[in-house]
Amino acid sequence: MNNKIEGIEEILRKEILCHGAISLADYMKICLTHHKHGYYIRNNPIGVTGDFTTSPEISQMFGELIGLWIGQTWIDHGKPRKFSLVELGPGNGTLMADILRVTKRVEGLHSALDITLIEISPSLQEVQKEILKDFPVKWKAKIENLPKQTTIVIANEFFDALPIKQYRRKSGQWMEVMVTLKDLKNLTPKEFCFQLMKTDERILADLNIQEGCTVEISTVMRDIIYYLSNHIQENSGAALIIDYGKEGNVGNTLQAVSQHMYSNPLTSPGQKDLTSFVDFKAIKTFAEETGAVVPNLTNQGDFLRSLGIEQRAEKLSQGLTSSALKLHKSGLARLINKDAMGNLFKVLGIRNENSPPLIGLEI
Ligand code: SAH
């Protein structure tokens, strides 16, 4: 265990000592997805025994309603005889398993299905293989070369895990937030720290940002949105993105989570989840540049309510008693209440310009 921990710290230390401070995006990329020691590569972080819990792990209703959304979207696209269902970052595969259980009831849908999971972690791919063993599923580590057919994409808590760069306005100039080592003059500097470094003023020239403010930019997110929006424009289809975030990129939203608690992002690199708030305004802008249509951002509570989660909860509660009923009710509350995930989590749709309006978002 210790060797592995030293592994990623050593990689970062060497990189900084040889080449100087690294960008926050490079730090996040190495910590999260380094091919041997990265957080997602080594761990299964999701669930009660992991570092964080996601909506599909809270209640089966989440996946059931996303399944309903997919079923209706497929019907609204004229029930194509073949279509791609693509999930970005499927974690334990729970969401896809719940989706497939309910969509079985939509006549013709399963025989049209062509499932691709985009997952960078070989160990999580194994977990997904087990839970989805009854279905013909393909895996890719990166979103590319999707088949040229109608495509429905879903992503829950995927975009928050992508590397971001941060820039800060200081003394009228733009500085980039870099990661370096404290006490570099020391022979064996150990602790990581942030450092502001002058950056090309033009990068951020358009932003009218006040002194001291931070802005966040994810080029990885931009490239994924360009790819999937172009793909949807060329082949028809839609995407559903669910995550915590806001409309804009001003503010320092970097966070580290370990065992369900907030933590310091610069200590024990590779051992904790690093995330940031998703910039839904940027996603909308990039998607619209391809000609795709992006309806107004909705929150998770309103989205799930409009798909009928309360009726579904009522139905499911009929067969439950005592502690199971209590758990079921608290699961519903966590998913939709404003003071839980209902408002913090947002839902953004992207669709082909000629596609019909999306349920739960436009109708
Ligand atoms: N959607 C799941 C899991 C979210 S955690 C759920 O709701 O439970 C983020 C997921 O994205 C993990 O499966 C992680 O391994 C994967 N992931 C993170 N960065 C990735 C990247 N750059 N490319 C592909 N998958 C990535």
Domain regions of the chain by residue span: 3-40+164-215, 53-162+223-261+277-351
Measured in Å, residue 125 CA sits from the centre of ligand 1 at 10
Ligand 1, residue 121: give the atom nearest the CA.
15
> In the 8-state DSSP scheme, what is residue 363?
-
The residue nearest atom 13 of ligand 1, judged by CA position, is: 91
CA distance 8 to 11: 5
32, 39 contact by CB (below 8 A): yes
Alpha helices for 236-363 (secondary structure H) = 280-289, 300-306, 309-317, 322-336, 341-344
Measured in Å, residue 130 CA sits from the centre of ligand 1 at 17
- Name residues contacting ligand 1 (CB within 6 A): 33, 40, 46, 54, 56-57, 89-91, 95, 118-121, 124, 156-158, 161
Q: For the whole model, what pTM was predicted?
A: 0.97
Measured in Å, residue 107 CA sits from the centre of ligand 1 at 30
Q: What is the pLDDT of residues 270-311, one digit of tens each?
A: 999 999 999 999 999 999 999 999 999 999 999 999 999 999
Measured in Å, residue 250 CA sits from the centre of ligand 1 at 24
CA distance 127 to 18: 37
Q: What is the pLDDT of residues 5-26, one digit of tens each?
A: 458 999 999 999 999 999 999 9
Coil, strand or helix at 176: strand
The residue nearest atom 11 of ligand 1, judged by CA position, is: 89
Query: Running along the chain, 363 residues long, what does each successive block of 10 average in pLDDT?
Result: 65 94 98 96 90 97 98 98 98 98 98 98 97 98 98 98 95 92 83 94 70 94 98 98 96 96 96 97 98 98 98 96 97 98 98 98 94
Measured in Å, residue 78 CA sits from the centre of ligand 1 at 31
Topology of the domain comprising 53-162+223-261+277-351: Rossmann fold (3.40.50)
